[in-house]
Amino acid sequence: MREGIHPKYNQVIFYDASADYKFLSASTKSSNETMEWEDGNSYPVIRVDSSSASHPFYTGRQKNIDTGGRIDRFNQRLNQKKQ
């Protein structure tokens, strides 16, 4: 592996403010903002828009849209043009 071509890989805290959820992970991203973690150390904080705590798919609040009506309308128009 060549030296000096890879980005620094550090521990960072990913913080979802909408759900007040944070987790510690490794990333090449960095930040000037820091936060103290449960182990007593300070780590850079990366703010995210959504996480597993706030995303509708993971929280069970996702709504499925019924597209069957579109298909039925298309088939009706197709049958009308054939007649």
User: Chain-wide mean pLDDT for the chain?
Assistant: 84
The domain ranges of the chain are 10-77
Model confidence at 81: pLDDT above 70: yes
Give the separation between CA 83 and CA 71, rounded to whole angstroms: 19
Burial class for 12, CB neighbours closer than 10 Å (0-12, 13-18, 19+) = buried
- pLDDT of 15 above 90: yes
The DSSP secondary structure of 52-71, one letter per residue, reads TTT-HHHHT-------HHHH
Asked whether residue 55 carries a pLDDT value surpassing 80, the answer given is: no
Lowest mean pLDDT among 6-20, 40-54, 57-71: 57-71
What is residue 20's predicted lDDT score, i.e. its pLDDT? Answer: 87
